[in-house]
Structure formats: C-alpha cells, structure tokens
Structure 1
Amino acid sequence: MFLWEPLTWYQILMFIAVLCGLMLLNEFGRANLWTGILLFFVVPLILTFAVWTKTAVPGSSVGTWFHWAKVYSSLAGCLGFLALRYVKGAAQNKYFLMFPPAILSINILEAVIRDFQCFSFNGFVDGMLIIGGPWNIMNGIAGILNIITISGWAGIYISQNRKRRDMIWPDQLWFWIIAYDLWNFAYVYNCVPDHSFYAGAALLLSCTIPAFLSGGKGAWLQHRAHTLGIWMMFVMTFPAFVDTSIFAVKSSHDPAALMVVSGLSLASNIAVFVYHYYKVFKYKKNILKGEEVHTDLGSYRELKELDRIPQPAVA
C-alpha cells in the first residue's frame, strides 16, 4: 500500500473498533458534567501515578516530551471546555472565551515544533523509524497557517436546544476543519509514522464525523479534545497496541507518500489562508478581538438556525 504496509482483515476490523470506541467514549464524556469529570480528570489522575510512570518511560515510543505534553494539553482542553459548558457565566466572559483558541493554538504549535525537529531525523528515534525531509518543513508551515486562520472565538456559545450541552463554535467551519485534518494527519504520518493508521486516520475521523452530524454539529473542537484525550490516555497505557501487537500497522516510510501527504496539507491550508484573509480584509473583520469572519455562509447560518439563535445581518 502507498501509506502503510499491507493491511490484514483483523487490522481493518480493529480500525473500525477504535473509531467506534472513540466516538462512544466521546458521547459518554459529553453526556453531563459528572461523566466529563470522571473521564477527563479522575481517570487520568489515577493513570498518571499508577500506570504511565511504568509504560510511558524514556526510550519507549510514547515516552517523549511530546506525548506527555500532548496528553495533558488535550486533557486541559477537555476540562476547560467542561468549565465553559457548566460554570455559570463562563461562556459570557470574553476572557474565558479566549481559552478554546489558545489551547487549540498551543496544541497545533506543539506539533509544528515537533515537525521542524523531525526534519533533522533520519533513523530510529525513541524506537520508531522517522525519515526527515522537506515534508516536515512543508507541514510545519501548514500548521502555522492553520493557527493564523483560527477565527470567531468571540462567537462561541453553549447549546441550549439540543440533547447535549455542547460548546459550539459557529465560525469554525468545514473547510478549516478539513485543512486541520489534512495537516494533523500529515504531522502524525511524518513524526509518529507507525501510529498514523490509528492516531492519524481513526482518531481524526472520530471527531470529524460527529462534527458533521446534526447532534454534534458546530462542536468539532470539543469532539477533538475529547477523542484526542481518550486516545492519548489509551496509547500511553497500552503502547504495545500500536507498536508490537498484531493490530499494529507500520508506515510504508515511502518518501513519495510523505511528500504527497504534506503537499496536500500545505495546499489546503494555503487555500484556506487566502480565502480567510480575503474576507477579513474585504469585510474589515477584527480577528484579534475574535470577530466572526464567515457569517455570510450558509453553513454558518444553518448552525445558528439549528440552535435557534438570531443571526447577524449578512455583510
């Protein structure tokens, strides 16, 4: 195969199981305040002291600074979003509303730094074969573009007319999400290649699918934080699953595949960047204050109609 070594039937079934498991646990975590606290505070607190000091050790594939930073930054996002959803007045506080774009930017920046770092690698690093090259630089640039096209955080609100009390970000629309997914998959494929089948493809699908369904539409960042936190807890607890088990899927380590994946990432993020800033300048949007950019689009207005929220006039 182009991206990975040939897949077995049981690896494909496990991919489906991981995808469904992440989506189900996301639903459990978003059900109410207490399930969120249990899954994103109590469980990782226990795992930190009882398990990860033994499994996520230096030299293992999950014992790097990046994995430790990623698990706690994703869990910080989960808990911060939980506070936004359930602490009275939090969603009306403009400073609190800065938290989602801040934690999202930090998470992307962590990966950008790692991509640039991996440019100089060519061999086994922490037990995994990494082939550095121009694709790392390309994807690092794509990640930076992804950060600077984050917009509309001042328009974040908490849904009141759905079964779930979700954090909705109306200005975070499908084209930005797809560009993010392509960038993030390229990052995982470049820097954690032998985990990319699950940590790239399955993990990204697990948050993107619910973001396009009516019940979870507009809550992509919440889904992303939840599924990422769940996956990081799992892989740091059971690193052998993605390393040495019969379900582990190895990358093809093909430079052509690395170049294609990062090329798609960079191209999509350039396209979003051009479109985004065309509208910013055309409509004189103050993005530093979190002003929404895409209020004229049908997908934005559809979301507001779903939540029965008065819509701003089209510029």
Structure 2
Amino acid sequence: MAGKRVGPVEEDGVEHVLDALYATPPSDFVSRREQEAFAARSDGRAADARRIRAARRPTPAAWAANLLLRAQPQECRRFLELGRALREAYRTLDADGVKELSEQRRGIVSALSRQAAELAHEAGHRLSDAARQDVDATLRAVLADQDAADRWAAGRLESALTPPTDFPARSADTAAGGRTERARVEAPRPSSHARKKDELAERRRRRQEQLDAARRAAEEAGRLLHDLSAARADAAPALQQARDRHDQAARRRATAEEELRRADEELARADRERQEAEEALRAAGDAVKRAERTARDAEKEAARLAGPNS
C-alpha cells in the first residue's frame, strides 16, 4: 500500500519522480517540478505530466519531515511501529504508565526532530524556530494518529501535521464491552464470594496485560531513543568534518578568486604593454623605412651633383 511506504522507492517512473520532488528543497521545488513535467510531456506521458504539475510545494517543515523519512528509513520505520504500540498501550494504561510513556515519547520526538533539522542544514537550508516546532508537531501527530502516520509514511507531505490533544484513551465501547463480557461470564450467577474472587482475578489479569503492553512499548521507546542518540553522536563528528571541509574549500575558493583577480589585472597590464610595444615597433619600423628612403635620396642627389666629370 502506497501509504505504508517508508524511505526511497524503486525508480518506477512518475512515482519515483514525485518521491524525489517532495525531498527537494522548497526553494528549488517549482523549477524542478516544471522541468520534470516538461520532460514527461516531451516523452508523450501527458497523464504523468499532469500529476507532476499538480504537486504542491511543501512547507519547510513538511520538506524536512519528508527528507527525514528518505534519509533514515530504518529509524522511521521503527518510529511508525512504535506509534502503533504506543497508541495501543495508551488505550489501556493508567496514569502512571501514561506518564512514563509520555517522557519516552518526548525524547524520541526531540531526537528525530534534531535529525530532520540537521539534514535540512546539510542540504543548505537552515530551519527557523517555527519550522522546527512544526516538525515536532508533525512527529507527535505521527505517534498519536494512524491517519497522520499513513500520510507521513507516503513521503509527500505538503504541510505540517497537527497532533491531537492527547493519545486516544480507552474508549467507552471497550469498557462497556468488558462489562458485557464479564456479564456473560457471570451469567450463571455463582455465589457472591466466587464472583468477587473471579472479578479480582479478572482485574489482575487485565492489569498484568496492561503492564506488559506498557513495558514492551517503553522498552522499544528506550531502545529507539538510545539508537537515535547514538546515531546523532556518530553523525556529529562527520557533520563537523563536513563543515570544516566546507570552510576550507570556501577559503581556498576565496584565495583562488583573489589570485584570479590579480592574474586578470596582470594579464590586462601585460596586454596593454604588448600593445604599446607593438605600436612602438611599428613606429620604429616606419622611421627606419623613412630613414632608408632619405639615405637613398641623398645618395642619388650626391651622385647627380657630382656629375659625369667627377
């Protein structure tokens, strides 16, 4: 199902183009969309061109969320699985369990949000504080709401997602169903002591199930948070090295541009000197020719004056 896809897809024509388009920085989105639509039309794929042309530029936060999905597919897949586990756990947890999972949830959202911001920065676009808050909101929505999770998993968000006020609580229907089930179990109407004993055992069983579900969700949340923290720690030196290389390259470029400017000036000066030398050489040549003509004329005049009797 397309809504369940996480991370890069196979190159399958227009689907691949759209996936790549929504991972394109917003500032470059429109120009790339038009290029891809033109290419599709030129290839005779009018329907594909219309689909590409209908794509809408994502907000910076939505783009960062799409970028995160493509750059960290494994972590994002675990994040989606964690969301399913958390939603199930929240439907049956008590206040203490909800508090524990809420703390884990905040840590994981914060870690993934930082990764999204760093990916955006590496792509040359620093997220504003407002955009980072929208990324946080989108990730919280993904954890709390299945529809939001499906939209993000498609990798083509156009705008940030809004989380619900809280995780879904245990529904009245579920509670009523439990009471109905207990009513069916109690239909034979055993003694009061037996009923209390059965109810106590049932409550303990349900309580144990809730605790087991909460513990599994908390453990998975802890593992994911640990992995994200480790990945961030591993990525930090590489990011710093990349920034250092960028700064060094920028300095080398500035130095090269300065050297090029000086070389251009020297070339222009040399060109002027060459032109002046060529002009001087032509003038000297002309002077030599005039002197030669003058010398020849003087010799002829001297010969004439000397005459045949000399």
State the TM-score, normalizing by the size of structure 2. 0.26
Identify the structure with bigger relative contact order (alpha carbons < 8 Å, sequence gap 6+).
1
**Which structure's residues are more often helix, by fraction?**
2
State the TM-score, normalizing by the size of structure 1. 0.26
Larger Rg: 2
